[in-house]
Structures are given as C-alpha cells and as structure tokens.
Amino acid sequence: MLGIDNINSFFFFLINNNFCELKTQYAAGRIEKSEFISKAHQEFHSILFDLSDELANTDIAAIELTENKVCMLTRLDGIRIIVDNADHRTAPIEILNFNAYEPELGSVIRSLAPFMNTMFDIGANIGWYSLLVQKINPSAVIHAFEPIPVTFQRLKDNIDLNNTLNVYLHNYGLSSNSGTFPFYYYPEGTGNASLQNLANRDDAQVFECALMTLSSIQNELIINEAIDFIKCDVEGNELFVIQGGINR
C-alpha cells in the first residue's frame, strides 16, 4: 500500500518540477543516459504505478495529468476537482491521504440532497459540497458564497469543469454586517481563511473581501422557493451569518 508520505512526495515532485530538473541534467550532459533512466523510474515513474494501485482503497477513481494541471475524479459521486498544488488539505488530496473526504458530513448531505430545492453553500471554498449536491440532484438551485478572490477563481474553475447547471457563484461572504473587511489567507490551507489569523502565521496573506448579510441579499437573489438547506462553514463566524439573516 502506498503510504501518505509517498503520496505527498509525489505531489511535492509535481509542485517542484524535480523530474524536469532531472531531464535538464541529462540534456546538459551532467548525468549519463543509464543513470537518468534509472533515477527517473525509481524516483518518479514508479510513484505513478504506486498511486494507481492505491486508488482502489480511496474514493478517487482517476487522476488526470495534463499540461500545468492535475485533476481528480471521485468514484462515488463523479466529481472532477482541480488539485491546488499549494493546498495541503484540499478535498482530493484529503481523499488520497485518508480515503474519503469528511465522510460523516458527506453521508448526511447525500441523504438530504434528493429533497433539496434551494441550497446556500456559505463558505463554499473550492465547491466540493455544491458539486456534491448538484451531482445527486441536478434540479436543485445552489447559491455558493466565497469571499477570497483566489479561492473564488478555483471555485469557478471547478464548477465550469463539471458542466453544472443551477449553481450561482457569489464572490462575497456573509456575516452580521455588510462592508469590506480583511481576511487572512495562506495557500497551504485555503479552508482556514478567516477574519482572524487562526493559524497565527506571520506570512499569512491579507485580502480585502466583501461581506453581505443574508437579509441584505434577499432582493438581489431571485429565489423561487424557500431556502431548505444551508451548509455554513466559515471558521467560527457561523453565529454572525445567522445574525445577518435576522431582519432589523
């Protein structure tokens, strides 16, 4: 069985282009052809086959490598996700490492998805739960909210990749007050982006992001049916989201 360390090493190789460096060394004559072939197989090519064997133990059915892009296809729901090469805990990497992604919550949402008419995905991140519901119930209308600009772009890319219908994306967050506020973000853990520097990292990036209240967006969004499911994951600010839904 391929261990977590080997899986992470493989993606570390993808991120750091070590195979390309090895090819550069050979092209420049710094290593012999036989040494290049041996190192390429032992350090890089063999990991591809190890990963292929390991997929049977996970919810990943396929890994697609294309120019400058890695995509993974899930077995259970048929979701395609672009892998963020900096995020250590993005959903497809979590599945490779731990075989499934948030299985308890996923099981609950799978059981409820067929009965959903309108869903709010607050703190959508890269779109995992929006895509999960859409795959199970394509007729459900989903509004996904994600304030961080770089994460919002990944959300949009994943929604486009899966050719989804009825998923509407909003590049702002929800809270108890409307306005523009600083969010702390670091690429290795995009799901931890928050109004507070939760990781206490000196190198956290700061983005000025828009926040709205649930009450203030009622007239903006065209919702034909009652909102019957809200998934809210906003790193400890869930109470403020609820407070913003109380008409004042």
> pTM value?
0.85
pLDDT at 187: 77
pLDDT at 1: 44
Mean pLDDT (the chain, rounded): 88
Predicted pLDDT of residue 136: 97
* 118-122, strands of its sheet edge to edge: 167-170, 141-145, 118-122, 229-232
pLDDT at 17: 57
> What pLDDT was estimated at residue 71?
96
Q: Are strands 179-185 and 60-66 parallel, antiparallel or unpaired?
A: unpaired
Question: Residue 47: what residue type?
Answer: I
Query: How many other CB atoms are found less than 10 A from the CB of residue 165?
Result: 11
Query: Which positions of the chain have pLDDT values less than 70?
Result: 1-17, 198-199, 219, 222, 224, 247-248
Query: Torsions phi, psi of 148, nearest 5?
Result: -75, 120
- Report residue 25 as tokens: 């060394």
* Model confidence pLDDT, tens digit, residues 108-167: 999 999 999 999 999 999 999 999 999 999 999 999 999 999 999 999 999 999 999 899
- The pLDDT, as a whole number, for residue 212 is 94
Instruction: Read off the tokens for 167.
Output: 């998923």
What is the predicted pLDDT for the residue at 221?
Answer: 80
Is residue 91 within 8 A of residue 127, CB to CB? The reply is: no
pLDDT score at 86: 87
| E-only strand ranges, the chain | 60-66, 69-74, 80-82, 118-122, 141-145, 167-170, 173-174, 179-185, 205-212, 229-232
Domains of the chain with bracketed CATH:
1-57 (no CATH), 103-243 (3.40.50)
